[in-house]
Amino acid sequence: MSKTWFITGTSSGFGLELTERLLARGDRVAATLRNPAQLSLLKERYPSRLWLAQLDVTRTDNVRKVVDDAFAELGQIDVVVSNAGYGLAGAAEELTDAQISRLLNTNVLGSIQVIRAALPHLRQQGGGRILQLSSMGGQVTFPGLSLYHTSKFAMEGFVEAVAQEVAEFNIEFTLVEPGTAQTSFTRGMEMAEPLAAYDHTGIRQLLANWPSVGDAKKMVREMIASTGRSPAPRRLTLGSDAWTLVHAALTSRLAELEAQREIAFSTDSD
């Protein structure tokens, strides 16, 4: 059966690929982006199944209005995809205050407000699915991406808690954790003004030789397929690099925790 989707950040990358694939298979899509004219050709091709709206997720009042309008005009929305976001690269001390605020306002506060705006509608209609685009960077870290990791780790914690709050309303969440992929993500990454002190560190080498392991089309295929599984997978790790690196990070983290068991228990009150 066809579904109705609400997706943020549909101008490029995973958001655009999702929108195109869903429309091609017969679903309805409420696609939001900063400049709806970018999807004018898709609108001409799918006039009755593509609903477009301008949305800047950093404007909370705008988020609530657009989400409310989408549910009012389309009726039931089965899947909400919180996808809008971007990358910010540079050593922590290279980043400006404005760059930090802009990233957190988009990737964290924007994502939180999209989810908060959708929850009352999903609760009233008896349930639904929310896909939050995270990253393998919500589980593992690389030098030079500290603020990007901050944003993804933050959303992982938010979703973990909110999923428990709304489970009884038949609202389920999936954190999508892609590895590297051939999308516009790296091209759209904001770069800090470099400091000479970091010129010979691993940061420069990593960012200059960023790989692309995953296939964005295959990743989107699995995102869509995940919405047909019940219960919803809490996390969807995509790409061999993501699986390998996340597995190593979790294994190391668990080993560190096990090593501190005696210390942890020794601090209980008598």
Residues labelled as active-site residues:
134, 148, 152
Q: How far is CA 134 from the centre of its chain?
A: 4
- CB burial string 171-206: b at 16+ within 10 A, e below: bbbbbbbbbbbebebeeebeebeeeeebeeeebeee
* Closest-CA residue to 32 (of 81, 76, 95): 81
Whether 190 contacts 148, CB under 8 Å: no
189, two tokens: 């990454």
Query: Residue by residue, what is the 3-state secondary structure of 239-266?
Result: CHHHHHHHHHHHHHHHHHHHHCHHHHHH
Whether 205 contacts 189, CB under 8 Å: no
